[in-house]
Amino acid sequence: MPGLEKVDISHNEFEGPIPNTTAFQDAAKEALQGNSGLCGNVEGLEPCNPAVVDRKNSPVEPRVFVIVFPLLGAVLLFSFFGIFCIFRRKKFHPTVEQAPKTTEVFSLSKYDGKILYEDIIEATGCFDEIYCIGRGGYGSVFKAKLRSGDTVAVKKLHQTADNGQTDQKEFLNEIGALTEIRHRNIVKLKGFCSHPQHAFLVYEYLDRGSLSTILSNEEEAEGLDWNKRVNIVKGVAYALSYMHHDCNPPIVHRDISSNNILLDSEYEAHVSDFGTAKLLKLDTSNWSAVVGTYGYVAPELAYTMKVTEKCDVYSFGVVAIEVIKGRHPGDSISSLLAPLDMEISAVLRNLLDSRLPMPMPGVEDELLTIFKLA
């Protein structure tokens, strides 16, 4: 405004220093009144604070603000956007904790793996024989009372001369089968551990132990009355029906025996030991080597070598007769399958466990149905 000669800005409530031009510097007092915030070296105005004058007259600082503030805003915007994207990714694609690619893996839903591993080693005395409660085809079972007060059954794999490759396969079979199974008549897998020194599986502990152990003990067998025995057979049947018809793909156990049927405190049956289990997949071969416990394996499997649900059905029949008879039927299985000269009810009476009194009529009918199915 170099050509401006006269100004009158009175009563506008302006603030700040007046411009350093002739028109403002020579302005009359009345032309500037009514602006209490104005300052300058003019009559009627307060002198300006030097810092205010410098900031007002500085051409650099406004440019800095013009550059810095938008840049800072852009950085903050991108930061918030990045955090939002990460949060959204985690929300819709939750991270699955991968097992470490080492030989030490422990997975358990309720406990810290490392702590529980040490707890089990301590509770079993590093798998001392005094804690062993059973032996299977490829592992020994130990009872472990944890510091928490819980009791679990721990199946430790046997060490083999070929670095445990065969047992490792069975170990993974059992994990794969049991992690997908949820049934009241199938033992619950609580966790597993693969370690250079100890590979084991952790199960719920069932108080009564195996069916085989109870039947071989005179006192315990007498306590296993006919109603309990009928319910045991039904429990095993329910478990097999679930595995064969409700699982996808179907699961064939391949080692149903009295050793692999565990009983809880109420004498309810739980199928266990899935180390030889096989998933029946339509797009893969179901041919296999013969596995299972001697005396429970279907004879035709020895030459057909094909795994089907019938493998378990035959074994179930042997177990059912064993429950009725009180011991493994042995070679008498073949005579039971042969044509009979007497009524089947008479055969059943000759077969019944002599340690128990004769069953009541209603229970006898159920036993007869079981015997026919077996």
Asked whether the CA dihedral 167, 286, 259, 182 is positive or negative, the reply is positive
Q: What angle do CA 226, 230, 234 make, to 5 degrees?
A: 170
pLDDT score recorded for residue 93: 39
pLDDT score recorded for residue 201: 85
Provide the residue type at 175 as one letter: I
| Location of each CATH 1.10.510.10 domain in the chain | 210-373
pLDDT score recorded for residue 63: 57
Closest to 261 in 3D by CA, of 323, 199, 330, 325? 323
- By the 8 A CB rule, do 184 and 234 touch? no
Residue 312 catalytic?
Answer: no
| Location of each CATH 3.30.200.20 domain in the chain | 105-204
pLDDT score recorded for residue 333: 65
Sheet holding 269-271, edge to edge: 209-210, 261-263, 269-271
Joined tokens for residue 31: 């032309």
Q: How far is CA 256 from CA 174, 237, 277, 307, 316, in A?
A: 14, 11, 10, 14, 6
Number of C-beta neighbours around residue 341 at 10 A: 7
pLDDT score recorded for residue 42: 75
Q: What is the CATH T-level fold of the domain 105-204, as seen in this structure?
A: Phosphorylase Kinase; domain 1 (3.30.200)
Out of 119, 255, 273, 312, pick the active-site residue.
Answer: 255
pLDDT score recorded for residue 84: 64
CATH class of 210-373: mainly alpha
228-257 pLDDT per residue, tens: 999 999 999 999 999 999 988 888 888 899
pLDDT score recorded for residue 92: 39
List the chain pLDDT tens, one digit each, 374 residues. 566 667 777 777 777 787 777 767 777 777 777 777 778 777 777 777 765 455 455 554 555 455 656 766 776 776 766 676 665 554 433 333 333 344 455 555 566 667 778 888 899 999 999 999 887 766 889 999 988 888 999 988 776 655 455 456 667 767 767 777 889 999 988 888 877 677 788 888 999 999 999 999 999 999 999 999 999 999 999 999 999 999 888 888 888 999 999 999 999 999 988 766 766 655 444 444 556 677 787 776 666 667 788 889 989 999 999 999 999 888 666 666 545 445 666 777 788 889 999 989 888 889 888 888 87
36-65 pLDDT per residue, tens: 777 877 777 777 776 545 545 555 455 545
19-36 pLDDT per residue, tens: 777 767 777 777 777 777
Residues 202, 223: Cα–Cα separation, whole Å: 29
